[in-house]
């Protein structure tokens, strides 16, 4: 199915107004990577379309079973995916449907209408990388209740501003969160300890690429750690500076955990995004 855009609009809204099909189905096509603008696959609901652009909708059954991001591992009990930057892990009051949870659930239900999915852990909206989801409540509870014991490695890669004074270090901080959801360093007795280890793996005049291993899983702890060092993560508009980039340069690239179903540790590992390598070559 093809249509030619005749006015400027956001993609999802334009499709709602110009396709004779239920809104739920339109969202499914967009979510599952079945819509192309000028022959490029687009999954963003708010993608701007302009007059003269061609929109193609692949209504074939095959596209219904594809996720718009990579599956790292899948069996009967868990599914491990590479979450894109800019995508919420789970719904908020403001966003219910454009979330990792919703997209994975739609994918699983398209294959089995009785399928379920449960969030085991989260990544910040702006952080990309490895996320583990469970397909049944028993597995979800088992992993969540033993997460700190089961997970032996949580590794990230990031690009930060400038050159770090120490090329390798262990950052120990006490963190709290205020009413505006901003995490900050505090000496209060109820502040929670956050431990962040890093090592510089490449640097230029403007940026440093670092490998990060966290010993705790506090909200925004990596972002706060580097902001405190005055080397904020590139693209961090919350704790750093406004950059002319389109994402946060923080990526969860390695996760090692004990998986009860196979009774051994499994290492999940994914490559560093290409944009990280490109900015380091500027």
Which tokens belong to 135?
A: 């397909």
Beta partners for 42? none
Distances (CA, A) of 24 to 31, 60, 106: 10, 16, 11
Residue-wise pLDDT for 138-172, tens only, equals 999 999 999 999 999 999 999 999 999 999 999 99
Q: In whole angstroms, give the CA distance from residue 17 to residue 12.
A: 9
Residue-wise pLDDT for 245-255, tens only, equals 989 999 999 99
- Which CATH fold would you assign to the domain 152-253? Pseudouridine synthase (3.30.2350)
Higher pLDDT, 32 or 96: 32
Of 237, 236, 238, 249, nearest to 282 by C-alpha is: 249
User: If pLDDT is split at 50, 70 and 90, which confidence band does 264 have?
Assistant: very high
Residue-wise pLDDT for 104-142, tens only, equals 998 898 888 899 999 999 999 999 999 999 999 999 999
Q: To which CATH superfamily is domain 71-145 assigned?
A: Pseudouridine synthase (3.30.2350.10)
Q: In whole angstroms, give the CA distance from residue 271 to residue 251.
A: 9
pLDDT at 97: 65
pLDDT at 61: 45
CB atoms within 10 A of CB 257: 24
pLDDT at 28: 78
Got the DSSP string for 16-57? HHH--S-HHHHHHHHHTT-EEETTEE---TT-EE-TT-EEEE
Q: Is the pLDDT of residue 195 over 90?
A: yes
Mean pLDDT, rounded, for 14-43: 85
User: If pLDDT is split at 50, 70 and 90, which confidence band does 236 have?
Assistant: very high
Residues 2-65, CATH architecture: Roll (3.10)
Q: In whole angstroms, give the CA distance from residue 265 to residue 256.
A: 7
Of 21, 25, 20, 55, nearest to 41 by C-alpha is: 55
pLDDT at 29: 83
| Helices and strands (H, E) in the chain, number of each type | 7, 17
Of 63, 58, 80, 60, nearest to 132 by C-alpha is: 80
Residue-wise pLDDT for 52-103, tens only, equals 999 998 876 444 557 889 999 999 999 999 999 999 998 876 666 689 999 9
Of 5, 8, 7, nearest to 37 by C-alpha is: 5
Cβ atoms of residues 196 and 224 within 8 Å: no
Q: At what angle do helices 100-111 and 23-31 cross, to 10 degrees?
A: 100
* % of the chain beyond a pLDDT of 90: 75
Q: What angle do CA 56, 45, 134 make, to 5 degrees?
A: 105
- The domain ranges of the chain are 2-65, 71-145, 152-253
State the pairing for strand pair 250-259/128-134.
parallel
Instruction: Give residue for tokens 């994918």.
Output: 107
* R_g of the chain, CA atoms, integer Å: 21
Identical fold at 71-145 and 152-253? yes
pLDDT at 68: 86
pLDDT at 110: 83
Q: In whole angstroms, give the CA distance from residue 169 to residue 18.
A: 55
Mean pLDDT, rounded, for 19-27: 82
Q: In whole angstroms, give the CA distance from residue 122 to residue 75.
A: 20
Q: Which of 14-28, 32-46, 235-249 has the highest mean pLDDT?
A: 235-249
Q: What angle do CA 170, 176, 182 make, to 5 degrees?
A: 100
For the chain, the residue count is: 282
């Amino acid at each position: 199915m093809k249509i030619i855009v005749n006015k400027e609009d956001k993609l999802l809204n334009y499709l709602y107004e110009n396709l004779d099909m239920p809104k739920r189905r339109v969202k499914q096509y967009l979510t599952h990577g079945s819509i192309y603008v000028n022959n490029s696959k687009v999954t963003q609901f708010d993608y701007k379309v302009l007059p003269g652009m061609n929109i193609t909708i692949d209504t074939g059954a095959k596209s219904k079973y594809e996720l718009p991001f990579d599956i790292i591992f899948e069996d009967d009990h868990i599914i491990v995916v590479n979450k894109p930057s800019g995508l919420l892990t789970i719904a908020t009051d403001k966003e219910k449907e454009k979330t990792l949870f919703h997209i994975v659930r739609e994918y699983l239900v398209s294959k089995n209408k009785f399928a379920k999915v449960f969030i085991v852990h989260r990544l910040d909206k702006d952080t990309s990388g490895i996320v583990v989801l469970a397909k049944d409540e028993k597995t979800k509870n088992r992993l969540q209740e033993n997460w700190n014991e089961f997970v032996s490695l949580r590794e990230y890669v990031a690009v930060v501003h400038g050159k770090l004074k120490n090329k390798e270090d262990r950052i120990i901080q006490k963190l709290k969160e205020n009413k505006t959801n901003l995490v900050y360093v505090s000496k209060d007795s109820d502040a929670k300890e956050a431990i962040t280890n890093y090592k510089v793996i490449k640097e230029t005049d403007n940026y440093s690429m670092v490998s990060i291993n966290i010993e705790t899983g506090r909200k925004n702890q990596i972002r706060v750690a580097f902001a405190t060092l005055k080397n904020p993560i590139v693209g961090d508009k919350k704790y750093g500076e406004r950059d002319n980039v389109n994402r946060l340069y923080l990526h969860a690239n390695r996760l090692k955990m004990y998986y009860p179903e196979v009774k051994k540790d499994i290492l999940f590992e994914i490559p560093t995004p290409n944009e990280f390598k490109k900015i380091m070559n500027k």
